Amino acid sequence: MRPRAGSWAISGTLGNLEEAARRSVDERIWGYIQGGAGGERTLRSNEAAFRRWTVWPELLTGVTSVDLGTSLLGQVVSAPFFVAPTAYHREVNPEGELATAAAAGALGILGVYSTLSSDSLEAIAETTGSGPRWFQLYLQPQFDVSAELVRRAERAGYGAVVVTVDTPVLGSRDRQEESGFALRQAIAVGNGPTVRSPARGPTWDGGPCRLGDAAEVSWKTLNAIGRVSSLPLVVKGVLRPETARRAVDAGARAVIVSNHGGRQLDVAPAALDALPAVVDAVDGRAEVYLDGRVRRGSDAVVALALGARAVGLGRPVLWALAAGGKEGVARYLRLFGTELANSLVLAGRSSVGQVDRGLVRPAPPEPTGASPPSEDRAATAPTRPRHAGRHLPSRRA
């Protein structure tokens, strides 16, 4: 039976979305969604990076309308933000990726759908209809499995293949483990029984560590994926300028600046901090996107001003799915777009193409003793939600 959308899908705001989601899912799923790697320093850095920039509005520009439309790899989209790839949507809400895809597709928002989606890439494509969609690839231990996923995506009408390169193994995720969500037991994914999650990290017992059955994440493998199909290649997980240059030299049409939401290498730089140097290194030869802790429309303005062509929305899409299913995701995307449009008007811009680096400046240093980031682990430690388990299967992951 299809669950009724929660009240957030009717009257919620961006400000109370996170709390609405927290009350809608089990503690173990909340730990999976929210958790970062290790001590979560990078998770906190992603947020802190946005506080280091301010938008300086240009007034008296006579703005009478605002257009969020743009194109990504030549494909027209309604706004410069996209649904970032995240796994296991049916663990968050039984409507799964089909709800996410239906909401994004109806609004003309690009959806990037994970190898580890609960629903098959073909079912997602059918639900998306004519809406823009790309396929995210986790490289598999057997190259033939990776290649067949790419071919399936091409047959299903996906517009690009996004290869995630920052997961040779999974990061150490304490909060996820403490919440009871672990990947020791396989979670069914829609793309078939041969598809695997990235391998768990090595276990040290005093001698050399072996990675076991991990996929080969290398330039050789990336080049081979690029030859599998005619789909444009996008490389996700880039932080170093030289990596971006080499990816473009290898044929990448776009790179996504990302630290995997702070879930891989703790103490990696904030994605926003890495963005300007990557933009400069690519020098217009490929498109650059940012995926890392974008929460408000004004965050998107900062990222666009620093050179991103579009920004990814990760955890908030899962929050919206948890809080209200398909209607929740649709409301969230509309609210985000509305706030972005409002921010552009207030900044004196009538389109995303008018946003440039002159619109932002470094913020003054925060005073000593300023409040810590809201996503600090102590502030967001999971507690048992009031409606625990309402959207979850009985099986424990």
pLDDT at 370: 59
Confidence of residue 44 (pLDDT cuts 50, 70, 90): very high
Give 195-222 pLDDT, tens digit per residue. 988 877 777 777 787 776 777 889 999 9
Give 20-30 pLDDT, tens digit per residue. 999 999 998 99
pLDDT at 170: 83
Give 76-94 pLDDT, tens digit per residue. 999 999 999 999 999 999 9
Give 268-281 pLDDT, tens digit per residue. 999 999 999 999 99
Q: Is the pLDDT of residue 379 over 50?
A: no
pLDDT at 175: 76
Give 147-189 pLDDT, tens digit per residue. 999 999 999 999 999 999 999 878 778 778 777 776 545 677 9
List, in order of start, the domains of the chain with CATH numbers: 19-200+216-360 (3.20.20.70)
Q: Is the pLDDT of residue 119 over 60?
A: yes
pLDDT at 369: 66
User: Residue 157: what residue type?
Assistant: G
Question: What is the percent of the chain with per-residue pLDDT over 90, rounded to a whole number?
Answer: 76
pLDDT at 171: 72
pLDDT at 384: 40
pLDDT at 395: 33
**Which residues form the catalytic set?**
260
> What mean pLDDT is predicted for residues 374-393?
42
Confidence of residue 5 (pLDDT cuts 50, 70, 90): very low
> What mean pLDDT is predicted for residues 36-61?
94
